[in-house]
Amino acid sequence: MTPLLPTPEHYLYNLITMTSADAKRLWSKAIKEQFNCTCVYCGNNYEINELTLDHVKPKTNGGESLASNLVPACKKCNQGKGSSHWLGWMRSTYGRNHTREQLILNHIS
């Protein structure tokens, strides 16, 4: 499993021969692997290249591109959530799911 570091720049500092694009790909892969290639919202498993990264706190609301604010999401969930608050959107779409909600809360804390 790829180690999960806070930002792509951390990979650059730790692996000097890596390009910025390679560092970002490795970082993205590590986040997806951290969740076993599962969409955090719907809970379905996907191939690693089928998942996107979603900002739990949307960039439009001040969310940053940090590992603690990014989670793997399928394209349908990422587009559906948009800039909505994750918990309200998730509950209105999938109902309450304590396990999935706790998974996200633990990740963003």
List, for residues 52-83, the tens digit of each pLDDT value. 999 999 999 999 999 999 999 999 999 999 99
Is residue 23 a part of any domain in this protein? yes
Using the predicted structure, report yes or no on whether residue 15 has a pLDDT greater than 70.
Answer: no
d(CA 105, CA 109): 6
pTM across the whole model: 0.81
Confidence of residue 88 (pLDDT cuts 50, 70, 90): very high
Domain CATH code at residue 104: 1.10.30
Is residue 55 a part of any domain in this protein? yes
d(CA 101, CA 21): 31
Is residue 1 a part of any domain in this protein? no
The mean pLDDT of 4-28, rounded to a whole number, is: 73
| Total domains in the fold of the chain | 1
Q: What domain range includes position 101?
A: 8-108
